Amino acid sequence: MTGTGGAVSHPCSALEGEVSAPGDKSVSHRALMLAGVAVGETKIDGLLEGEDVLATAAALRGLGVEVERTGPGRWQVHGRGVGGLVEPEDVLDMGNSGTAARLLLGLLATHRLTATLTGDASLRSRPMRRVSEPLSRFGAAFHGRADGRLPLTVVGAGAPVPVRYELPVASAQVKSAVLLAGLNTPGETVVVEPSPTRDHTERMLRHFGACVQREEGGVVRVAGEPELVARAVSVPGDISSAAFPLAAAAILPGSRVTVTGVGLNPGRIGLVETLREMGAGIAVANERVEGGEPVGDITVAWRPLSAVDVPPERVPSMIDEFPVLAVVAAFAGGTTRMSGLAELRVKESDRLGAMAAGLAACGVAVRESADTLEVEGGRPQGGVGIASRLDHRIAMAFLVLGMGAREAVRIDDIAPVATSFPGFVGLMNGLGAAIEA
């Protein structure tokens, strides 16, 4: 992280205004990686310039790809073609991004090279075996710490063989890693997922010219050794970042906030569905398709909120939004129940434990189990300090809570916010928040 520093979020009145969210992090990572193995020059507009994505750009440069920033959010990538990445001379530092690390391992697994990936303290604590195990089936070898944790060295398969892999647990990252490994593998690689996950990788692969098919039963097929061709990419706003101003509007009486140009991928809009079920006034306008992704403008107008039960089958479509949903639940009438949340234990932090502890410290009644969280609504007291645990979403979630609590909430370190939402404090204050950084 660049720099450290805390912040205090003071109670405030209604939020009002129209803003745009930073570029979608998931799409940004994939745009850079696939442009790196396409033929020709890809121009990307709206790329997220947070630390996570910049780490991906730096890693690609280490692998021989020409990556250049030409203006704010504007980048161009000169690709090397499928199978054209070269062995890096140094360790590839993926910063804080589990998505970037897991997807890049997929690309590297079927290249004839050796590379070592590392990251910050948070990323080094996250398990990678969930991707190294299926990727080893292509013929790659992995050498790392317990549970495949970084630093992790991948020795790519010299003669990769296609794989059919059935995901034990729904995971877009694991699915994507296997599909990307299949690009440089002769024949057809198949992934079977137990329930639908976000499909950014499939959409982006098709955008660059790959043959990707989805069949009933969660079967996804990719034909190996395509010639990917450079295509312009327009990155939509990140629904996971837009979630914070939208959630703040949902809890502050009288608020009305619009976030423009937000990605509306069906595999990502679980939070919007849940807020609507809770009673928030939600409208979506100007719907369109950009770069293969559905996009629109989302408006949230405050209305009294009621508790809901969030079904486990919705978890993949809002896995990153549960921290801020838990905050919204603390302001809703009744008890909100969320289940199927085991994945939150192995994010940038143990997000389930972090939210339960932080909410309790703010005076909210919570009940936590291995994969569930129950939150009793009302109005949190606040007036405490919260440890961000090097997790950008924990930091932003509790900054939102402080806006509606009875007393201010202090966050020990908001530097991690730069990984996904540069300018977060300024954007929120521009809507009417009172955050001192």
Structure tokens at 422: 């540069």
Task: Give residue-wise pLDDT tens across range 150-168.
Answer: 999 999 999 999 999 999 9
Residue whose entry in the numeric block shows the structure tokens 């937000």: 262
pLDDT of residue 348: 84
pLDDT of residue 2: 37
Structure tokens at 262: 């937000």
Measured between alpha carbons, how far is 107 from 37 in angstroms, rounded to an integer? 9
The H or E element that residue 283 is part of is strand 281-290
Characterize the bridge pairing of strands 281-290 and 233-234.
unpaired
- Which DSSP state fits 17? E
DSSP assignment of 318-380: SGGGHHHHHHHHTTSBSEEEEE--GGGGGSSS-HHHHHHHHHHHTT--EEE-SSEEEEE-S--
Q: Which residues of the chain have pLDDT under 50?
A: 1-3
Distance of CA 305 to the CA centre of its chain: 26
What are the structural domains of the chain?
A: 7-22+236-436 (3.65.10.10), 25-234 (3.65.10.10)
pLDDT of residue 147: 84
pLDDT of residue 150: 97
Task: Indicate which residue of 52, 199, 238, 320 is catalytic.
Answer: 320
φ/ψ (deg, to 5) at 247: -65, -40
Measured between alpha carbons, how far is 416 from 7 in angstroms, rounded to an integer? 12
Contact between 194 and 175 (Cβ < 8 Å): no
Active site residue 238: no
Question: What separation in angstroms does the CA of 357 have from each of 160, 363, 364, 394?
Answer: 46, 10, 10, 11
pLDDT of residue 4: 56
- The pTM for the full model equals 0.90
Contact between 417 and 8 (Cβ < 8 Å): no
Measured between alpha carbons, how far is 202 from 204 in angstroms, rounded to an integer? 6
Around Cβ 116, how many Cβ atoms within 10 Å?
16
